A and B are shown apart, each in its own frame.
Chain A
Amino acid sequence: MSNPWIAIGALTLVSIIIPVSMTVVSALLRPSVPEQGKTAVYESGEVPTGDTRIRFNIQYYMVALLFVVFDIETVLIFPWTVIYRDGVQQFGMAQVLVPMLVFIGVLVVGLAWAWRNGAVQWVASDRANEPGQTAD
């Protein structure tokens, strides 16, 4: 049996080569006309106001956290499904299925908790509802 790291190394290599070569090829082929506006942020044709360094609303973090949780869940479930059949044959149903069910169960509890706490719902802020000062 060959070293499994060879495959991983190859994958890493390919994943570096593809983007780099795309950048290089297009840099060689494209005409370059440097313009002031090209490097500016696109915001519907206007000059953007302020920068991105603002204090974001805390609620976005909850959404991001939940996303990460479920993203990782998918990453873990996929390889598990691939080896599921072989696994059952080798170790039996209980050994293979139960840990995953427990894992998903924990996540579901987490989701239910977050849901109940209103993390998936946007809490309206007073400030937006009654703007202290409008444009005029």
Chain B
Amino acid sequence: MGEGVDARFNSKLREAFGSSPFILTKFDQFMNWVRGSSMFMLQFGIACCSIEMMHTYAVKHDLDRFGAGVPRASPRQADVIIVPGTIVSKFAPRMKRVYDQMPEPKFVVGMGSCTISGGPFQEGYNVIKGAEEVIPVDIHVPGCPPRPEALVYGIAKLQERIANGETSPVTVKPYELEQFSELDDDELVQHLADRIDEEELVMRYDWAESPVLEALLGDHVIGRERHRNAEAFVVRPDEVQDALFLLRDEAGFDHCSCVTAQEYEDRYESIYHLRKYDDPTQEVGVVVPTATDAPVSESAEPVYRTADWHEREAYDLVGIDYDDHPQLERILLPETWQGHPLSLDYDQEQPQVVTFSEHANPLNEDQRAEADSDTMFVNIGPHHPATHGVLHLKTTLDGEQVADVESDIGYLHRCEEQICQNSTYRHQIMPYPDRWDYISAGILNEWAYARAAEDMADIDVPEYAQVIRTMSAELCRIASHMLALGTFALDVYGDFTAIFMYATRDREVVQNILEDLTGQRLMFNYLRLGGVAWDLPEPREEFFESIRDFLEDLPEKLEEYHDLVTSNEIFQMRCVDTGVLEPEIAKSYGATGPVARGSGIDYDLRRDDPYGYYDELDWDVITEEGCDNYARVLVRLQEVEESAKIIEQCVDLLAEWPEEDRTIQSNVPRTLKPDPDTEIYRSVEGAKGELGIYMRSDGTEKPARFKIRSPCFSNLQTLPEMSQGEYIPDLIASLGSLDIVLGEVDR
């Protein structure tokens, strides 16, 4: 082997020439120059960092200038893999597989602190502490996320190293394929389920005086609780369905926004947060306590279809069993996981094993004999450009048709809830919401937490800060919808098209404005409890001017999008009347946001459950009656216009705000300790829909339970309804039109 040249480049030719291939030196230099100057990147996105990675590929930063641009969707055609994001247990073997399938020599760029050490999620029970645990990394680009410039620099450094023939050593770690039998654990739970002690449960609750709902629920109610947002009724674990049916059909609570499960010292509890689509301020909670030694309660799935996934999550993370549930399996964690991480006695140190094996075709046996042709089971994802992240669709195809589709999630389950539970209300939680819906929707998410925490601890927000919040949140919404449009065009047209580049171009403008305001392009961390972090940047006029310029150009750009996208005949053929989601079905799945509004459901928390400065401003809620993929795109495009209206009014208000009234934060104590046993569920209209937070305090400065109601989680559940029996391309379009973010689905 030659001087200074790594074993990684050792080829047959070198071996043939023995240990000192003098004549190969020049040739080596040439080969390394070639390798460095024409790098084929793998199109590989994991988490928030991949958004900045996309910006690095696209206009403005244009990685292609450095001979390393066009991303390839298949590992067989790529020799550089940028690992952008948090790696969790379930994803690690898949990532290893994709890496293995790249041809030699291959190079790895670790992007973001998550690939260095697990980053902000290092403490998570499910998070791999750095990419190096799985594959060898050549260059680490630190940052959370690194700016595109930093990534460009990292890649330039990699090219330099390749040109010099140095790389990190290859360690080949073959991933063992292991088969596991059924969990012994489950049998135990089953056994315990038979011994539930209901008498004891009833004892713990006092009967309260009965208003209308209680009269309606009658004997089902065994107690009352008062949550900050709503009254809650305690219901016997074996009468959940009856109670919920009554509430849904008689009292009109047709929206089950969330199911929170938690463990107390003496019991388990599932809380169903119900509200009405017509008037979301009408809320009620249904609390179902179960005994610690046998946590079994009746499933709500027959009443609200959305409870299916919510209860699976509760089973997975907390360990409550739901009777009558159609498919009570783990949803976020791998099947083989031992223990329930959010239960009290979970030991995070215990080793876990993750399997990596075939998935079964659900339609294989029953139809093989009669039909003329077989069904084919195809994995779409977790590494697939059309899944918008690390989602796995177990698809069974009958020819060109989708006979069955099931989403398999959890490839980005970063333990957000656990981490928030281990952080203090006052400062430590706020950075995390940015990383739920990481498509630049940070401030919208921060607001969800801010709203819940402020209502919980009775903190006022100065009006001036509310206007700033409203303005910045709507800027985030525009950025988020732009990406939704760009990636949807990518799904439908099938390549990095002009539309994607246009959308990135406009996002860059928004991101620059937000960077001026907050100091970050993506993870803003700008809201504080009781206000915002700091005032608008000086000189204010210049800042306002930049926003006004953007708003002025926007109508023309939207016109352009309509020309490119919505009025394009091919686009219409792909989207009109495909992925139909009837409003009734959408409601039973708890769909919200543009997905619900595209099905004609007039539901927008900004108007219906007002917060911030929205009710003082003049804007409209957009709905479309089409119920199809096209309607959802139209809703998003029009919402951008509405957001622009809101921003414009906010800018005018802020420009005229008297200088002495510019209070950006109210007085908030240094440590927040809400009263013990305060419970609250509060939600805001995030970019994708109703983003809610449930919190319970135990009198300390950290929440005892922190539950995130993610709009994408509920929206994604509608996918089988939209695509079963449809063609494959329609499945892809439907998935794209849902605009999911895996960071928020998996949390």
A interface residue numbers (CB < 8 A to B): 27-33, 35-38, 40, 42-50, 54-60, 122, 124-125, 127-136
Contacts and interface: CB of A to CB of B under 8 A. Distances in A.
What 9 A-B pairs have minimum CB-CB distances, sorted nearest first?
Answer: A37-B100, A57-B399, A128-B401, A45-B94, A46-B379, A54-B374, A136-B327, A45-B383, A128-B398
B358 A33 contact: no
B619 interface: no
Contact of A131 (B103, B374, B403): B403
Contact of A57 (B101, B359, B363, B373): B373
A28 B9 CA distance: 11
B647 to A, nearest CB: 39
Interface string B359-397: 111111011000111111111111110000000101000
B363 A131 contact: yes
A135 B96 contact: no
A50 B394 contact: no
Contacts of B31: 29
Contact of A28 (B13, B103, B357, B400): B13
B392 A58 contact: no
Contacts, number: 154
Given A131-B403, A134-B720, A58 B382 contact: no
A38 B100 contact: yes
Contact of B12 (A27, A122, A136): A27
Contacts of B177: 47
A49 B360 contact: yes
Nearest to B725: A129
A50 to B, nearest CB: 6
A60 B395 CA distance: 19
A30 B372 contact: no
A44 B380 contact: yes
A37 B97 contact: yes
A125 B379 contact: no
B383 A127 contact: no
B218 interface: no
B676 interface: no
A30 B358 contact: no
Contacts of A48: 358, 379
B742 to A, nearest CB: 14
B404 interface: yes
B724 A42 contact: no
**Residue from B360, B394, B725 whose CB has the most chain A CB atoms within 10 Å:** B725
A57 B374 CA distance: 7
B607 interface: no
Given A47-B358, A49-B358, A49-B360, A31 B104 contact: yes
5 contacts: A37-B96, A47-B177, A60-B399, A122-B400, A125-B401
Contacts of B170: 33
B373 to A, nearest CB: 4
B379 A42 contact: no
A133 B100 contact: no
B376 A54 contact: yes
Given A31-B105, A131-B363, A134-B404, 19 more contacts: A27-B12, A28-B11, A29-B11, A35-B172, A37-B174, A45-B383, A46-B97, A55-B373, A55-B374, A56-B399, A59-B399, A127-B398, A128-B399, A128-B725, A131-B403, A131-B724, A133-B366, A134-B362, A135-B327
Contact of B74 (A37, A42, A58, A127): A42
Nearest to A37: B100
Given A45-B95, A46-B94, A48-B379, A135 B406 contact: yes
Interface string B318-338: 000000001100000000000
A125 B400 CA distance: 10
B104 A30 contact: yes
B98 A135 contact: no
B100 A36 contact: yes
B10 A31 contact: yes
Contacts of B360: 49
Given A31-B105, A48-B358, A56 B95 contact: no
B356 interface: yes
B97 A40 contact: yes
A30 B375 CA distance: 39
A44 B327 contact: no
Nearest to B381: A44
B12 A28 contact: yes
B172 A33 contact: yes
A49 B379 contact: yes
A95 to B, nearest CB: 43
A27 B95 CA distance: 26
Interface string B89-119: 0000011111011011100000000000000
A56 B376 CA distance: 9
A116 B145 CA distance: 56
Contacts of A37: 96-97, 100-101, 174-175
Nearest to B379: A46
A50 B373 CA distance: 15
A55 B10 contact: no
Contact of B104 (A33, A128, A129, A135): A33
Given A37-B97, A44-B383, A45-B382, A32 B104 contact: yes
Nearest to A57: B399
B223 interface: no
B98 A45 contact: yes
Nearest to A47: B358
Nearest to B727: A122
Contacts of B74: 42
Contact of B372 (A32, A55, A122): A55
Contacts of B505: none
